[in-house]
């Protein structure tokens, strides 16, 4: 886990290790979500980059009766 500091302008710098692990680029858009008592940043990706990202996922999930 990495720590960062919020600047006086409420800006943050994403640590290099995280940027590299997630292949983030300067100017890339991210979605931000306040979830319970934490903040989540979700990188926006082009559809072409998403190809195959669900490969290997288990499609056998329990569904509610009205969702079948």
4 within 8 A of 18, measured Cβ to Cβ: no
Would you give the DSSP letter of residue 30? Answer: E
Summarize pLDDT for 1-53 with one digit per residue, the tens: 888 899 999 999 999 999 999 889 999 999 999 989 999 999 888 888 778 87
Local confidence band at 64 (pLDDT 50, 70, 90 cut-offs)? confident
What are the structural domains, with CATH classification, of the chain?
1-46 (2.10.260.10)
**3-class DSSP assignment, residue 38:** strand
CA distance 30 to 45: 9
Q: Is the pLDDT of residue 67 over 80?
A: no
Sign of CA dihedral 42, 27, 15, 20: positive
């Amino acid at each position: 886990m990495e720590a960062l500091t919020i600047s006086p302008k409420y800006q943050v710098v994403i640590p290099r290790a995280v940027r590299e692990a997630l292949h983030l680029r300067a100017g890339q858009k991210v979605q931000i979500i306040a979830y319970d008592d934490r903040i989540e940043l979700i990188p926006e990706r082009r559809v072409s980059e998403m190809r195959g990202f669900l490969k290997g996922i288990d499609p056998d999930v329990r569904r509610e009766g009205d969702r079948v």
